[in-house]
Structure 1
Amino acid sequence: MPHIPLPEQLPGITGLLEYRLDTAAPIRELTQILLRGESTLSQGERELIAALVSSRNCTNFCEAAHTKAADILLGDDETARAVKHDIETAPISEKMKALLQIAAFTQKNGREVTPEAITRAHEAGATDREIHDTVLIAALFCLYNKYVDGLATVAPTNPAFYQTLGERITGRGYVRPPGGYPVPTS
């Protein structure tokens, strides 16, 4: 049960964003820029970063939502699972392995990102901007995960919910729908 009253039909971060539209606007805008904006990393690769960080933070809602978005964008439901299990054996490029290790270090503590990790990423072909964006996405999802868990939001357990959410995320991105979310009628 959430620590504060939230719209029951909007679990996870969605209800929190509706609770404070003024703080939600910059959160949504930054997320849209980082996960859907122009980048040399694909949208699926950026969702992998979000899924990995959320998984390591044990934030069920965010992990399930971003895993499903990655699955849809990558066209399979094995890659994200494999990344969360073991980055080094996952079926991804060496560049993504290096970037995901940087994301994992960032999730633990930003100071865990070593010069060696940066060198590995550069040697695998990562640009400075890709490294920057990886760290920023990882840090941002640490914030989101703490936000969701700190206020004890609800995380549905039905996989169909996350399929629908993943489709919404990949189709519309992170912007609020015009007029907000429909309120269920009783």
Structure 2
Amino acid sequence: MPHIALPEGYPGIRSLFMYNPETAKPLNDLVQTLLHEVATSTLTPGERELIATYTSSLNECTYCASTHGAIAKYQLGGNAQLVQEVINDPSTAHISDKMKALLKIAAKVQHNGKSVTEADIALARGQGATDREIHDTVLIAAAFCMFNRYVDGLATWAPDDAAVYDAIGKQRATEGYHTKPFKVQGEQV
């Protein structure tokens, strides 16, 4: 049960965006820029979604981890197994060493931004990460700590049905974040 009166039938951050359109616009613009617009980063949209998914899973935010995991799956050619590998343990996932190093930085940001060390940055650079990729990783992880706390701090509704997240993932991977909610199996998404 949400802590405040939110529109019923809309999960997670979508209910919060509907509740307060003034804050929804800049937050939606931020996530659109961070995760969907290819021109803003040399990391692929799928890689950026993996950072958001991993950070959200570390924060135990069911709605965000499930939503961004589904988006990542579609951005990565339907590879749900890879997404699950990253959530379980990025160090053993079938991803590049550069992504492993970047996800290590994301985990440190999730814990405490001051936990990121020069050694973490040197490892990422040694694996081919650019300063822009390191910057974007830290910004995505930090932003998703905020989004996760916003969603969970107001106890928004997180559906149990994996098909709901799959539908969200397919839409967002294709259309981005400036989309309107739609019905999936009788539920608003």
Q: TM-score, normalised by structure 1?
A: 0.94
Q: Deviations over 1:72-126 (max 9, x none)?
A: 1112111111111111110000110010100010000001111000000111111
Q: Which amino acid aligns with 2:55?
A: V
Which whole-Å deviations, capped at 9, do the CAs of 1:110-149 have from their partners, x for residues lacking one? 0111100000011111110110010000000000000000
Count residues with an aligned counterpart: 181
**Amino acid across the alignment from 2:66:** A
Task: Determine the C-alpha separation between the residues in 2 that align with 1:92 and 1:145.
Answer: 24
Q: 2:82 aligns with which of 79, 82, 105?
A: 79
Q: Tell me the distance in 1 between the aligned counterparts of 2:63 and 2:130.
A: 31
Stretches of structure 2 lacking an aligned partner (at least 5 in a row): none
DSSP 3-state at the match of 2:7: coil
Q: Gapped runs of 5+ residues in structure 1? A: none
**Partners of 2:33 and 2:141 in 1: how far apart?**
14
**Is structure 2 residue 149 aligned with structure 1 residue 146?**
yes
| Aligned residues: CA RMSD | 1.3
Whether the 8 Å CA contact 2:54–2:65 is kept in 1: the answer is: yes
The equivalent residue for 1:64 is 66
**How far apart, in 2, do the equivalents of 1:181 and 1:70 lie?**
20
Secondary structure (helix, strand or coil) at the match of 1:162 reads helix
- Runs of 4+ deviating beyond 6 Å: none
**SS at the partner of 1:102?**
helix
Alpha-carbon distance, 1:181 to partner:
6.0
Q: Which residue of 2 aligns with 1:89?
A: 92
| TM-score calculated relative to the size of structure 2 | 0.92
| Percent identity between the two aligned chains | 50
